[in-house]
Amino acid sequence: MTPSPTLAHDAADRLAVVEALYRFAAGIDLRDKELLRSSLAEDAVSDFRPAAAKAGFEYPVIEGRDIIASALANSLSTLDTAHSISNPRVAIDGDTARMDVLVEAQHVPRNDPSRHYLMKNRYYVELVRSGDIWVITRNTVDNVWRSGDPAVLSVI
């Protein structure tokens, strides 16, 4: 049985919404600022404060695609990171979407790979359709659990 065009379109949109977060995470992990920028709306907002507070440090709300990309590149410049995305729950309403997703983020100092800090975070992501792709307008990150050496993030 062939799925209806509406069902196929809905499935494609849901995948495209999640793909925006894949671009975001891969941009960080690969240190590819252009890939990271491609995941963000020009006026995007990144709010890592809930997760940072649980990890014991402060991190400001960052606004603007270029500022977010630069801030993440700079704050993570001494670390290797590996992000894994799972359990995305997507709700689409026309040209806007919301996603609640789990993201595991491993942080390892490049100069001392014997240390690590692993965070399991919940991302609350708001997105808009931008032409043929979806881009993140707001990302709020809260922490579910963490393990390892929190001093790894002291460079942030």
Is 49 a residue whose pLDDT tops 60? yes
Is the pTM above the cut of 0.75? yes
The confidence band for 2, taking pLDDT boundaries of 50, 70 and 90, is: low
Is 140 a residue whose pLDDT tops 80? yes
CA distance linking residue 139 with residue 144, whole number of Å: 16
Q: How much is the pLDDT for 10?
A: 85
Q: What is the pLDDT of residues 77-100, one digit of tens each?
A: 999 999 999 999 999 999 999 999
Report percent pLDDT > 70 for the chain: 94
The confidence band for 25, taking pLDDT boundaries of 50, 70 and 90, is: very high
Per-chain mean pLDDT for the chain? 93
> In this structure, what token pair is assigned to residue 111?
């100069």
CA distance linking residue 53 with residue 34, whole number of Å: 29
- Sorted by where each starts, the structural domains of the chain and their CATH numbers stand as 5-155 (3.10.450.50)
Report percent pLDDT > 90 for the chain: 86
Strands (E), the chain: 40-47, 62-63, 79-93, 96-109, 117-130, 133-148
Q: State the number of CA atoms in the 13 A half-sphere of 103 facing the CB.
A: 28
